[in-house]
Every structure is written in structure tokens, then in C-alpha cells.
Amino acid sequence: MNKHIQTLVKGSLAAAAAQGGCGACQASCQSACKTSCTVGNQVCAK
Amino acid sequence: MIWEKYPFKKNIHLFRHGGLNLVYDVNSGSLHSLDDKAGEWLAEIISFSEKHPQKAARPGVLLAATGRKLTETERSEIKREFERLEQEGALFSAEAELPPPYAENEQPLLKALCLHLAHDCNLACRYCFAGTGAFGGKRELMSLATGKKALDFALARSGGRATLEVDFFGGEPLLNRTVMRSLVAYGRAAAAATAAGKRINFSLTTNALGLDDELADWLDQEKIGLVLSIDGRPDVHDRMRPRPDGRGSYAAVLPAVLRTARRRAGASPYAVGAYYYARGTYTRYNPDFDRDVLHLADLGVERISAEPAVGGDLAPRLEDWPEISASYDRLGEAYLAYAAAGRPFNFFHFNSGLDAGPCLAKRLKGCGAGLEYAAVAPNGDIYPCHQFVGRTEWRLGNVSEEAAAPAAAIAREFAAAHINAKKTCRECWCRFICGGGCHAANLETTGDLRGVYDLGCLMQRKRFEVAAYIRAREALAATDESLTGAKFSSAQKTQES
């Protein structure tokens, strides 16, 4: 248990990068956005 | 230990929000909460490294020159925790070797189509980037024949993809509702008939004026996603979204929005399946748009998005940023307060994607405009996205052309405008959140697809900070909050966006 730093979310973006992407996810601008692209707030379709 | 030569500024983001010291590790996507001592030391490390890069690169100097206010015990404890997180790949993580998102001469597969059923509208919104519906051209509706060709084009160009997304857009697509219904039936049959047995997920972006109960039943039955345009408070909405004769549209739109919210309670906040979003546009007139979001939330709308107007005199400017920034801050606190009071709502841009977000390959590709995403005008002309429709210099082709395929030169321009190709993005901690931002906004404000829309960057960073803060508060609510800080030194402000 850390005393000074608490991990809230542990990700593995770069570590998983070698696997590439399946491309099944939705297009960024096709949902509720249409004017300001945000890629990171979408959900992985896997 | 890689600290000595670690490019902190682009790879971790330390910030203080709502009394928390948070650090986002860009390359892993991890989020940590720090107590004041660890937060202050890390801020000093970052600051020293930026101010004295050569000294910082010498073994031992960075740590020796920073954290001097800490006791030896504290230094030892914190250093050990930093090292453990580094070993776990959750902090100070290494940058991935990322190839260009599209190989040279790659013909990307289409995954989403924006179908402009109507270049006409029954409203005359003052901020409309489509010039009240006509996109700078003549007012026209898409014919069923053109719509079918567009769907055929999309299915053919989607290769081995199992699922295709098609959004009915305009102008106001419900001015062409008969064609819309026919295209859903046609598209579903055509997709199922492909060798791969594809599926099309349809959605509809509408001003909701024509959204009657009979149509709502059909939309539910067909599981069609809905984006309903409403700006929030009555005066705000009516000022920007009048009918052609000048009367406001709020009173006519609101009932349809509320009916949808009731019918689709519990819909996916990630816009999957039969979702809905009430989507507002904010302008220079309502930089306090958080009040518009809360107006809708108070009425029972649980899926809300608010986007800045793009281009023109009504679009927010850099000088508006302090007020807009404060709006996002207030909205974050309200988001938590409403949830705590048992009245939760979702704000689209506070979806952080920290837990189940997309992979790095997707984040590098960005929005996919002109490659994986395209828009089709009523006359069948294909454009990189809905924002480019009518700008003929960006026309990619027409769905009636034999073997319609995106114009190679334009497609290459979009393929080349990824975050690694833009210096500002390459060095920015937010690069995997925005994916380089909106091509249309970048082009509009800088004249260059590889340019960067400054105000858009500020918005992206702020929205993520608040989203991460909300995620942190939610996590800490279930645990011991003793690590949260009460103070933050001036040194820690060096990374504030």
C-alpha cells in the first residue's frame, strides 16, 4: 500500500500498442460531438 | 530510473483540481492521486527538468536539487513509490514505437458515413455552419436512389468490417423522413446480404421539431441512436435557434427531448445502440453554458453534450476562455453533486475513457475524416466529413461514379495530418485524448490541416482534467481520501493548462 501516491486507474496503452487496433470502434465524430473531435473518451468495442 | 532524461512535459500531466493533486501518465493512460508532499516534489522535478535540462540529465542531479523541504524519510518513501510505479509501467512510462496510422498508399476501410438527407432546414440557427441548411449551395433533399448508392458505396468500401455506422444529418434530415425510413430498410437488407453479413448502426441528428410519437416508436423499434439539438435555457436556445420567421423553437422542441429522455432512460453514455444525447451548441453569448447543461439535467435529461460553435462571429474566442474554463469547472462539481444527490446525468465530454477507452492505434488515427469517415451530400458528392460538405476543393468524388473511391491526393492529406506529424501535438500531453482535434476546426483557424486550433486545445485539456478529476473523486469516495492534498505550491502550477 502506497503512502503518498494512490493509483486510481492503471492503464496499459503503450504496452498494448504492439497488438495494433481492430478498428471495430465507432467514428469519433459520429456520436454526440460533430464539432470537436475527442478520441479518448470513447469506448473500446472489444 | 529514467528520470534524468525523461521528457516529463509531454509524457505526464500533473495538475491540481478541486483540492486533488492528480498525475496522468500519458503513455500508459494511468491516473494517480498524490499527497501534497509527493505532488510538490514531482512539480519541482518537472520544473527543474524544464529549466535546466542539461543539469537534470546528469546522474543524481535532478533528485538532489529538488525535494529539499522533505525529510529523508519522506524522500525515501516517495522515491520508492515513484520507482515502483515506474517499474509497473504506470508512471514515467516509455513512449510506444508508433508507426504512421496509415501505411503509404493504404486504402482505408470506411467505417462511418454521414448522410446529408436534407440541405434544407425548418430552423434558421444563427451559428449554423451549414448556412441554415444549404451548405452554401442550393436547398435540396437527397433522393432515395442517391441514398441507396451512398449505402452501397459505404458497404463496398467497408471491406471486412462487420459494422458500419450511418448518421442521418442535414440541414434537418426529418424533412426527408420518408427517404430515411426507406434507407434504413434498404441498408439493413443490403448489409445482411453481404458475404460477411454486415450490420449497419443508424443514428439521427435532428432539431426534434418533427419528432412525433409515431416516429419515436419507429426509431425505438429500429434502435436508431438520437442526437437532439437543444441549447439549454429557453432564452439561450431561442436566441440562437429561431424559426425562419424569428419565433423561438424551444417550446416546440423541449417536449420531444423530454419524451426521448424518458423513453431512453439508461441509454449508453458512450453513444452505443439506441442511445440519445441532448446536444447543445454554446456561443460567445453563453460562456456560462454549464447553466444550460444543468437546466436540461434539472428537467430530467440524463445524456447531455455541449459543443462550441465553429467559425463566424458567434464562435467563442481565446478572450472568452476564462469564462468557458470556469464553466467546465463548475460543471464538474455539479456533475458530482447531482450524482451524490441521486440525480446523476452524463456529460459527453466528461467521459474520460480512462477505464474502457480505445487503444493507442485508434487514438493515433484521430477522427478518421476522409479515410474511415465520410459525408455524402444530397447530390451524392462525397466529402471528408460533414464540416467539409460544400467546400468543393475538398470533394472526394460522387457515389454515382463507377467504383467511387476517395480522391487519393486529398485522402493522403488527411492521412498525413496525424498527431505525430504535428509538432505541437507530438509534444502535448493531451495528444492521445483528442487525437489531433477536429480537422475542420484546425483548417478553419490556421488554414492548414496540420495546424492546431488553440482554443480547441484549451477545451480538450480542460475537459479531460475535469473528467479525470471526476473519475478520481468517484474512486476516492470508495476508499481512504487521506492522500488528497489541501494545498498546492506555486511550483505545481507550472503544468496548468
For the question of whether the overall pTM of this predicted structure is more than 0.95, the answer is no
B93 in Cβ contact with B31 (< 8 Å): no
* ipTM score: 0.93
- On chain A, the residues whose CB falls within 8 A of the CB of B463 are 38
Residue A20 — pLDDT band, cuts 50, 70, 90? Answer: confident
Indicate yes or no: CB of B111 within 8 angstroms of CB of A35.
no
Interface size, chain A vs chain B, as Cβ–Cβ contacts under 8 Å: 245
B226 in Cβ contact with B203 (< 8 Å): yes
Low-confidence stretches of chain B (pLDDT < 50) are 482-497
DSSP code string of B118-138: EE--S---TT-TTTTTTTTS-
Pairing of strands B346-347, B373-376: unpaired
Position A37 pLDDT exceeds 80: no
Pick from B34, B109, B367: CB nearest A29: B367
B484's grid cell: 488528497
Q: What is the mean pLDDT of chain B?
A: 91
B358 at A interface, C-beta within 8 A? yes
In degrees, to the nearest 5, what angle opens at C-alpha B412 toward C-alphas B406 and B418?
A: 125
Pairing of strands B140-141, B30-34: unpaired
Q: Where are the alpha helices (DSSP H) in B278-377?
A: 290-298, 321-340, 360-365
Indicate yes or no: CB of B112 within 8 angstroms of CB of A26.
yes
What tens digit of pLDDT does each residue of B384-410 get?
Answer: 999 999 999 999 999 998 655 557 788
**Residue B278 in 3-state DSSP?**
strand
Indicate yes or no: CB of B357 within 8 angstroms of CB of A43.
yes
What tens digit of pLDDT does each residue of B407-463 get?
Answer: 778 888 999 999 999 999 999 999 999 999 999 999 999 999 999 999 999 999 999
What's the full length of chain B, in residues? 497
